[in-house]
Amino acid sequence: MSSAPVDAELRALSPANDPAFDNVWDELVWRGLVHVSTDEDALRTLLGGPPIVYYCGFDPTAPSLHLGNLVQLLTMRRLQLAGHRPLGLVGGSTGLIGDPRPSAERTLNTRETVEEWVGRLRTQVETYLSFDGDNAARIVNNLDWTAPLSAIDFLRDIGKHYRVGTMLKKDAVAARLNSDAGISYTEFSYQILQGMDYLELYRAHGCVLQTGGSDQWGNLTSGTDLIHRVEGVSVHAIGTPLITNSDGTKFGKSEGNAIWLDAEMCSPYRMYQFWLNTDDADVIERLKVFTFLGRAEIERYEHLVQDEPFRRAAQKRLAHEVTALVHGPGAASAVIAASEALFGRGDLGSIDPETLASALHELPHARLARGTTVVHALVETGLVQSLSDARRAIAQGGVTLDGHRVEGDDAAVTGALPGGVSVLRRGKKTLAGIFVED
């Protein structure tokens, strides 16, 4: 597995909060990161005072985190940069259960699978936090305090504080109760487990704030309510908004595929292109949520979007910032160079083989024998519909192979680029990749 960038690379990006804000709460609000919360005035006072301990949980229901999780990771980092102390929780026990989805029951993964995914997610969470200094981060696993607990102790010590009527009103539970699938007792109990996590972290570490997506609000308040009942104190929660596109579609989905943070599941090139294709109506909000650029700089990009949208300056900056943050500055530079070269503004031969191959996998592509004519390659890659269309395109001078214009029908693919590949282009922007086989 390709891990996320090492901590040294993250530090090289020098993420910092905007000094224009005296209180990190105000910056979170300006960035649109507070959709729902407990007492706002109390939270502003809390976050503007001495360091507190806060946490966010990540369940291993997949082998990688995705862009929705990145919202939480960067929120955690912003709070840490303000001097507060983060706990990154990886759910070794809750991952065995899975939080209720609105539509249907989750398929339970094996213990071995969940254990493997815990390790993967832990590596990713660690990347975005600092483990140095007075407010060094800590990683915790809720399996450590859940596994030793007997069913009787769980029911007596934790379950007695929950009222079924209240649990039934939680959004995710209510949605499932009204569906054909219903809900199992297993998933119904998830909110109790998450509430217990908050109680344990409050007792062990003095944790007084949990962050999470607003769709998890019922689970977040499960913990605040439990602590209030058991310990008689008030703790807090912040629910960040679910990120959607301006047209209302779900953010982070591309033809049914999530944008994962693991490079093997989503290449740096694909991630860069995802951000580069951000709509003008969305790009400023994305800069606020997913980058550490300050308000003054983001407002400058807002003017550029309005005055010179054709330059796509905001999208280019967004794509570079997030790709560098997730995969490292070196990977970001490599994919930018590849993007430029693929569209005729750089040397294709200078791109490293791995980056070039990952870029070509995101384009229409085919595996062809060395010596296949460009005429046939145009058809096989789908750049034209027929051999006659291919010959016509070549005759009109609109076809290039590996950056060089194709002059005749007898031209053949050779895999001359790094890694034994070729790039076929018709016109200015229609590209295809060819993986040449002997």
CATH 1.10.240.10 domain position(s) in the chain = 267-350
Tally of CB atoms within 10 A around 42: 12
pTM: predicted TM-score of the whole model, two decimal places? 0.90
DSSP classification of residue 278: -
| CATH class of segment(s) 267-350 | mainly alpha
CATH 3.10.290.10 domain position(s) in the chain = 363-438
The region of weakest confidence among 226-240, 314-328, 344-358 is 344-358
Please identify which residue in the block is written with the tokens 């005296």.
Answer: 22
- Contact status, residue 3 vs residue 124, Cβ threshold 8 Å: yes
The region of weakest confidence among 110-119, 242-251, 419-428 is 242-251
Give the Cα separation of 129 and 145 in Å (integer): 23
Give the Cα separation of 372 and 125 in Å (integer): 46
Q: What is the pLDDT of residue 254?
A: 54
Please tell me the CATH code under which domain 363-438 is placed. Answer: 3.10.290.10
Over residues 2-23, the pLDDT tens digits come to: 333 334 444 345 799 999 999 9
Does position 211 have pLDDT exceeding 80, yes or no? yes
Q: Does the structural domain 7-244 have CATH classification 3.40.50.620?
A: yes
Task: Give how far Cα 3 sits from Cα of 88, 237, 266, Å.
Answer: 17, 30, 12
Give every CB contact of residue 91 below 8 A, 6+ residues apart in sequence: 57, 58, 59, 60, 118, 141, 142, 143, 197
Over residues 67-87, the pLDDT tens digits come to: 999 999 999 999 999 999 999
Q: What is the pLDDT of residue 280?
A: 97
Task: Give how far Cα 362 sits from Cα of 95, 101, 320, 437, Å.
Answer: 31, 30, 18, 19
* Amino acid type, 73: L
